[in-house]
Amino acid sequence: MDNSSIAVSPKKTFGKALLYTLPMFLVTFMFITGGKPDFSDPARTVAILVTFFGMNLLYFLMHYSGKTDRYRAIIFVIFALTLSFTLIRNMILIRNSMSFSQADILECKIPFCHLVIPMMILPAALTKSIIFPGTILGGFADIASMVVLWLAATVVLGRGFCSWGCFYGGWDDGFSRLRKKPLVKKISDSWKWMPFAVLLLVALTAALTMIPTYCNWICPFKAVTEFEKVTNVESAVKAGVFISLFGGLVVALPVVTRKRTQCSFLCPMGAISTLSNRITPFTMKIDTNACTQCFKCVDSCPMFALTREGIKEGTVSMFCSKCGKCMDSCSRNAIHFGIRGVPAGTRKNFSRNLFLFVSFLFMAVFSSQPIVFTLNSLYNLIF
């Protein structure tokens, strides 16, 4: 039992890391192959094997090297890219275009994503109706399965969903890593309250208009998924808003600040996930006995969750997305994954192993299909 408050390294020996990877090996094999391995199609077989071994290699490296965020980010970014590819390819296969028409809305053919959930709650409670034009059950990206997945992830991971499950987060996470040092360092951390204002506005406007206003007017990821066909001034302005927000909050600002600005300053789902951090069993803890107050963790945090005052007091704010970047920057292992109720500085490795298994499994299961699909498509394209 590692209950010492002195730095405990999360690194493991080769054999021990392999042993920890074994359960993930088995579970991911089951999920990626669907329990019935079918290797008749060479393209799909290659895609499945690359995905399966790649994922497990990264999980192994997390245990072997003791670094969390370094390897998490690789899958997370690939997940975002491949999901966009999958969505766009599906759109083109079905409609020959990335845009959807009014007819598609009327026929409820729009793929659902978790960002709609904050806007669905009030109308569903008041009118017992779903305001999104998607399929409730069955078909591509249906509402029921997405809500269940999101609920499960949120209850277990809290805002960890934003770093381990959200298929958009990888975009600004990826762009935030392009520069080694930020060009803009001073950003008021009061901006992190902006998603709550966005949540307030979109939830109320959706309830009043019975239209998912965030998707309709704001969502920057429309630029890399599907969007309304430009047929008039209003739809042109909407497209302009989507592209500007994507360019500004997902590309430019993360590059110059090394922060996940879309997730921190806009996403209404992030606001809900932030609140859910208060009930989740996993938290980040600071071992004040091991901490030397170098504040490298504060500078590295992409979500404005850490402050110098908080580090001194040994507290991490509810904005933490449990990405593990702060842990990777801490040479003393003073900041670590923890379990609610367990004192900081104790059971560090146990908590990390448990959290990594749960969160990585969720990400692996969620991301494997788009990755397999993309690899499969690329294989077919090349050969």
Partner 1 sequence: MTDSFILGLSSGSACLVTCGMVMFPYIMAGRGGVMKIVLDLSVFLATRLVIYFVLATLAWYFGQAFLTSGIVRTFVTGSLYVMFAIILIWYSIGRKKNMKCPAAIVTKVEDKRLVPVLLGVVNSIGFCPALLLILTKGAAQGSLAQSWLAFLAFFTGSSLWFLPLPFAGKLKKKQVIETIGIFATGLAGAIFIIKGLILITGGILNG
* Strand, helix or coil for residue 265: helix
Nearer to partner 1, 72 or 222 (CB): 222
Distance from C-alpha of 357 to C-alpha of 363, rounded to nearest angstrom: 10
Contact call for residues 125 and 221 (beta carbons, < 8 A):
no
Indicate the burial class of 145 (C-beta count within 10 angstroms; 0-12, 13-18, 19 or more).
middle
- Among the listed ranges 91-99, 153-161, 187-195, 222-230, the one in contact with partner 1 (CB under 8 A) is 187-195
Closer residue to partner 1 in complex, CB, 227/282: 227
Q: Which is nearer to partner 1, 103 or 236 (CB)?
A: 236
For the stretch 135-140, contacts whose Cβ atoms lie closer than 8 Å and that sit 24 or more positions apart, written own/partner, are: 135/108, 135/109, 140/90, 140/111
Torsion of CA 50, 55, 56, 59, to 10 degrees: 160
Smallest gap from residue 210 Cβ to partner 1 (A): 10
- DSSP H helical ranges for 165-295: 169-175, 194-209, 213, 233-245, 253-257, 261-265, 268-276
User: Out of 148, 184, 237, 279, which residue is the one contacting partner 1 (CB under 8 A)?
Assistant: 237
Among 19, 197, 252, 279, binds partner 1 (CB under 8 A): 197
The count of other CB atoms within 10 Å of the CB of residue 131 is 19
Q: Is 193 in the site for partner 1 (CB under 8 A)?
A: yes
Is 233 among the residues that bind partner 1 (CB under 8 A)? yes
Residue 243 lies near partner 1 (rule: CB under 8 A): no
Q: Alpha-carbon distance 26 to 19, whole Å?
A: 12
Residue 252 interacts with partner 1 (CB under 8 A)?
A: no
Q: Which is nearer to partner 1, 92 or 237 (CB)?
A: 237
Nearer to partner 1, 62 or 203 (CB): 203
Which segment (58-66, 166-174, 236-244, 306-314) binds partner 1 by CB under 8 A? 236-244
Question: Among residues 22 and 208, whose Cβ is nearest to partner 1?
Answer: 208
Site string for partner 1, 209-228 (x = CB under 8 A): x-------x-----------
Identify any residues that bridge with 283 across adjacent strands, giving them in sequence order.
338
Nearer to partner 1 by C-beta: 8 or 199?
199
CA–CA dist 298, 40 (Å, integer): 50
Least CB distance to partner 1 at residue 114 (A)? 21
Residue 148 Cβ, how far from partner 1 at the closest point, in Å? 30
What is the identity of the amino acid at 277? N
191 neighbors 184 (Cβ within 8 angstroms):
no
Q: Taking the CA atoms of the chain, what radius of gyration do you get in angstroms? A: 21
Q: Residue 135: helix, strand or coil by DSSP?
A: coil
In the bound state with partner 1, the residue whose beta carbon lies nearer, of 30 and 204, is 204
Is 201 or 294 the residue whose CB approaches partner 1 more closely?
A: 201
Cβ proximity to partner 1: between 205 and 288 the closer is 205
Examine residue 205 and tell whether it contacts partner 1 (CB under 8 A): yes
Nearest Cα residue to 23 out of 62, 56, 71: 56
Using CB under 8 A as the binding rule, whether residue 194 contacts partner 1 is answered as yes
Report, in Å, the least distance between residue 196 CB and partner 1: 5
Task: Note whether 204 binds partner 1 by CB under 8 A.
Answer: yes
Q: How far is the CB of 201 from partner 1 (least distance, A)?
A: 6
Per CB under 8 A, does 234 bind partner 1?
yes
Return the range that interacts with partner 1 (CB under 8 A); candidates 197-205, 311-319, 332-340, 352-360. 197-205
**What secondary structure does DSSP assign to 145-196, as a single string?**
HHHHHHHHHHHHHGGGHHHHT-TTHHHHHHHTTSSSS-S-----GGGGGHHH
Number of residues interacting with partner 1: please give it, by CB under 8 A: 18
Q: How far is CA 28 from CA 31, 145, 265, 328, in A?
A: 5, 19, 34, 25
Give the span between the Cα atoms of 278 and 262, in whole angstroms.
22
| Residue choice 50, 141, 187, 201 for contact with partner 1 (CB under 8 A) | 201
Question: Residues interacting with partner 1, by CB under 8 A?
Answer: 190, 193-194, 196-198, 200-201, 204-205, 208-209, 217, 233-234, 236-237, 241
